[in-house]
Structure 1
């Protein structure tokens, strides 16, 4: 792919699992493992870490793995991405995070293709999510990234880089890439020590972990989160139309495989509105299921 730069944000100062990006994964630091997996992309890869002395080892690991490194504010991650773009000009910026060692370069390429074919300012595979958590990819137009840097003032918007963009579909053209499967509840990211042990176990069971595709990982991991009898289950519904306002995420609700309605979230001008169109018998359970699904969701205030 030409005209693309992939930026991986990584630091040692995680509150739940300090130094996780330096923890062993497949016989090397987890960050190095992720960077080696990204090599088939054939694009410049930049690790954006902080300028704190505690992240010197992160920078060293990234350099040893063949990545470029930029360093900036620990809290203002958005400014680090702009710095990466300043030093590595590109037509497309890919945002990845260092807690996702199983990032699949084929998914990255597919999201970039969706971004380009739809003429989007911001494209991801998480609005709504259909891949396991830990395979997240965001693709951003440089002009949109720079505008967000100028306009985003709230701390969370700068820490999480892209919320200002996807909270404003009336201003930025959004697009979403789907896996074609209902796997958004699976958890392959490394946030805690338990996650680290689980993902290490998956990597140890892969024949060629650096080259393994996400489907290879799925074959080893299996599906861990499945509906229980009588549970209201939400599966991604219609994919949002690129550029639509409001941005509508929709899920089909079912119980024991029988459709019982739909739920949706509309976002426009940084405000979210929920819509529950579910049989009254299951309405409360559907609301609770949507609340769980959206816990911590950055698109909703």
Structure 2
């Protein structure tokens, strides 16, 4: 049951269509098999959505037949409270009716906070949605720290956000980072499997601790350069879990903090921010199942900090 999304000129609510392939199934169960959660169905029922079978509105108690065409029209969404739409430049790597994938520069927060209430990626996306008449709030699927550059994935609907979250939990989303660290490595490919939790006395820092949440990081050494004792290494890093500051904490724990990451012991001589960039994102599309692979080139400040040949 591969869904299709459609749009109407007079009604820009997000919608999905499905064709029934099994006779005599309750509409609620059919939609559950299509990946639509009970919470989403409740929102459809009470917040301005519709469920149509062959063009006629039905309740979830309706029994569908083979060949029936089911359309779910999702309710319009309002921007989250405190998220003010703003105009600004966005670097779009991929976009369709369901997803928006962007290239975030270092120094820009992903979402508003007390310290950064405006100018964030989410503010600019909300402005884009408002300008285009997209009735949605901003659903961040993959978030980056303010000083980490690279790929950020955003869902255009709460249902798509749910599907992507489930895909991430199941390991169906691969995020690849590039990092610059001080020192050389005896192994060219290895895993760091250490639990991470909040550092005592800090609301920001994380640390490896026995009672933390499991965190698994895969590291490949791409290149090492420099004289003995003062080497710089370029790493490819894949996250298998998504803990706060995971790459920064794990690399610092093994004695190789990110260049520029002074919070975790890195040196700021070569670069003024943590040398970390989300360079690749791959997954199967939550609606079509088509393989999506997006890449982002490493920015100039990291290339300069590493001094590598590329």
TM-score over 0.5 for the pair: no
Larger fraction in helix:
1
- Alignment TM class, shorter chain as reference: under 0.3
**TM-score, with structure 1 as normaliser:** 0.26
**TM-score, with structure 2 as normaliser:** 0.25
Structure showing greater Rg: 2
